[in-house]
Structure 1
Amino acid sequence: MKFALNIPNFDIYSDVHLLTELVHEAEEAGWDGFFLWDHIGGDWQMAIADPWIALAAMAMVTKRITLGPLVTPLPRRRPWKVAREAVTLDHLSHGRLVLGVGIGSDQGREFSCFGEEADDRLHGDMLDEGLEVLTRLWSGERFSYEGKHYQLSNACFLPTPIQQPRIPIWLAGTWPNKKPFRRAARWDGICPIGRDHELTPQDFRDMLAYIELHRSTNTPFDVLTVGQTTGTDRTKDRATVQPFAEAGVTWWQEGFDRSYSLEQVRQRIHLGPPEL
Structure 2
Amino acid sequence: MDILFYTVVGLIAATFGSLVGLGGGIIIVPALVYLGPYFIGESIPISTAVGTSLAVLIFTALSSTVTFFKQKRVDFKSGWLLFITCGPGAMLGSYTTQYVNAKSFQLGFGIFMLFMAVLLILRDYLKPLDIKWSIERTYTDGKGQTFQYGYSVLPVLVIGLAVGFIAGLFGVGGGALLVPVMVILFRYPPHVATATSMFVILLSALMGSTTHFALGEVNLWMVLGLAPTAIVGGWLGAVIASRLGSKKLLWVLRVTFLLVALKMIWEGAFLS
TM-score between both structures, scaled by the size of structure 1:
0.25
Q: Which has the higher strand share?
A: 1
Q: Which has the higher contact order (CA 8 A, sep 6+)?
A: 2
Q: Which has the higher helix share?
A: 2
TM-score between both structures, scaled by the size of structure 2:
0.26
